[in-house]
Amino acid sequence: MISIKSIYEKAIKHLEVGELDEAEEALQLYLRDNPSDAMAYNKLGVVFVKRPNRSEAKRCFQEALKYDVKLVPALNNLGNIAREEGELEQAIEYYRKAILIDPDYPLPHNNLSVIYKQLGRYKDFVREIKTAKRLENRNVLQPKKKQTMWSLLARIWTKKRDER
């Protein structure tokens, strides 16, 4: 019998190489036994983004947030969908919320800068793009990010999940 951990890992590997059908199948199987795993819903949303099936992706990201309201990747992904749909103010809200939760994560800063540039808010654009680049450089130069309470909890949660 295949362990739950290996099913999840298999799904991530399929997703990384673009095998979307296999990734979806493995994630659906994993979620049957782990229906409250927010990160798995987020990854399933990524599968649908890559297809592209925005409505199903959005549903998965929202489902992820039901189980973890502070899941920054899901907030960032919802911001991306809102931006693609032309809902710029909604996208800004998602990115800002992600930044409030994890101000050291560069991606929402970068994505927010894109919107500010679209809106002609150049001062805000410059601030956010500089912040994103500074954080990216810090991550390259110092790959071991200082441990925050959230990163500690995420590591503990992942370890507990993997022990199942």
Instruction: Decide if pLDDT at 2 tops 70.
Output: no
- Give the CATH superfamily of 1-67: Tetratricopeptide repeat domain (1.25.40.10)
Whether the CB-CB separation of 161 and 7 falls below 8 Å is answered with no
Instruction: Pick the closest to residue 139 from 98, 114, 112, 102 (CA basis).
Output: 102
**pLDDT band, very low/low/confident/very high, at 7 (cuts 50, 70, 90):** confident
| Location of each CATH 1.25.40.10 domain in the chain | 1-67, 70-147
Whether the CB-CB separation of 150 and 101 falls below 8 Å is answered with yes
pTM score of the predicted model: 0.80
CA distance 53 to 164: 32
Predicted pLDDT at 65:
97
Signed CA dihedral, 29, 35, 40, 42: sign only? positive
Q: Note the pLDDT tens digit of each residue in 101-127.
A: 999 999 999 999 999 999 999 999 999
Correct CATH for 70-147 of 3.30.30.10, 3.30.830.10, 3.20.20.70, 1.25.40.10? 1.25.40.10
